[in-house]
């Protein structure tokens, strides 16, 4: 039986590329989305057209009740999750002197709470302590976690630094229960998420100067690393963070 992978925030960008590559690699894929049902269904259609299995799963993964319901739908449609990719997140730009309870909470709910809630449901299914057969969790961080991001990006950078620490702590917590946990730190990747920073064109110009390889990365290049971390080829990689940042 093919393994089941759930990718959060998979209607576009890096998440969509991970879902598509997972489908081509033989996984049954849960394609989570928040608002872009049309885009999520397009990803599912591409996977099915290539002979794979996939289902679109609407949920705000920053809300624990919606996460629990999403995993139940995945159980009922594709089966128990084997690989969770915590990819959902938002990129926000506001100065600390403009921070308030709403905008800070929005960033951390999307970028950090989501990883806790989704990992909780995955562990309850994967962990040998809970009768599971093991599995893999891949967390999506960012080089902003170690570089601090751009001006106005303190909340985003802090949320991704939280993911770095969460990744290591979770690896220590569940490694003996058959679950491998690793993270990816993408750099400047050509995706729609950069709209709040002036768009893809501006980001690609920045990459020519700031990235040692002299270019932005593609979502497909991040997806390749995610699928490797999920595979048996990475069987002794645990608690690690892989930078996919062109040397930045």
Give the catalytic positions in this structure: 156
C-alpha separations of 95 from 49, 87, 146, 155, 192 in Å: 45, 24, 18, 9, 21
List 65's β-bridge partners, or say none: none
Parallel, antiparallel or unpaired: strands 4-7 and 83-86: parallel
Backbone φ/ψ region at 246: left (φ over 0), alpha (ψ -120 to 50), beta? left
Distance of alpha carbon 86 from its chain centroid, rounded? 4
C-alpha separations of 223 from 13, 79, 123 in Å: 10, 23, 23
List 179's β-bridge partners, or say none: 135
Provide the 3-class DSSP secondary structure of residue 145.
helix
Tokens 């490797």 sit on residue:
228
């Amino acid at each position: 039986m093919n393994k089941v992978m759930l990718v959060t925030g998979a209607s576009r960008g890096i998440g969509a590329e991970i879902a598509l590559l997972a489908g081509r690699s033989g996984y049954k894929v849960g394609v989570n989305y928040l608002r872009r049902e049309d885009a999520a269904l397009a990803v599912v259609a591409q996977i099915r057209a290539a002979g794979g299995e996939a289902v679109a799963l609407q949920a705000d993964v920053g809300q624990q009740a919606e996460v629990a319901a999403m995993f139940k739908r995945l159980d009922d449609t594709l089966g128990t999750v084997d690989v969770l990719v915590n990819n959902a997140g938002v990129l926000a730009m506001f100065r600390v002197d403009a921070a308030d309870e709403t905008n800070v909470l929005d960033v951390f709910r999307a970028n950090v709470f989501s990883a806790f809630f989704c990992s909780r449901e995955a562990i309850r299914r994967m962990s040998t302590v809970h009768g599971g057969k093991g599995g893999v969790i891949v967390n999506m961080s960012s080089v902003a976690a170690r570089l601090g991001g751009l001006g106005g990006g303190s909340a985003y950078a802090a949320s991704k630094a939280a993911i770095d620490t969460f990744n290591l702590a979770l690896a220590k917590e569940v490694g003996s229960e058959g679950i491998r946990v690793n993270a990816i730190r993408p750099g400047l990747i050509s995706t729609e998420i950069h709209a709040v920073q002036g768009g893809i064109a501006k980001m690609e110009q920045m990459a020519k100067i700031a990235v040692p390889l002299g270019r932005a990365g593609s979502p497909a290049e991040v997806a390749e690393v995610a699928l490797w971390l999920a595979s048996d080829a990475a069987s002794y990689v645990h608690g690690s963070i892989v930078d996919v940042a062109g040397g930045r």
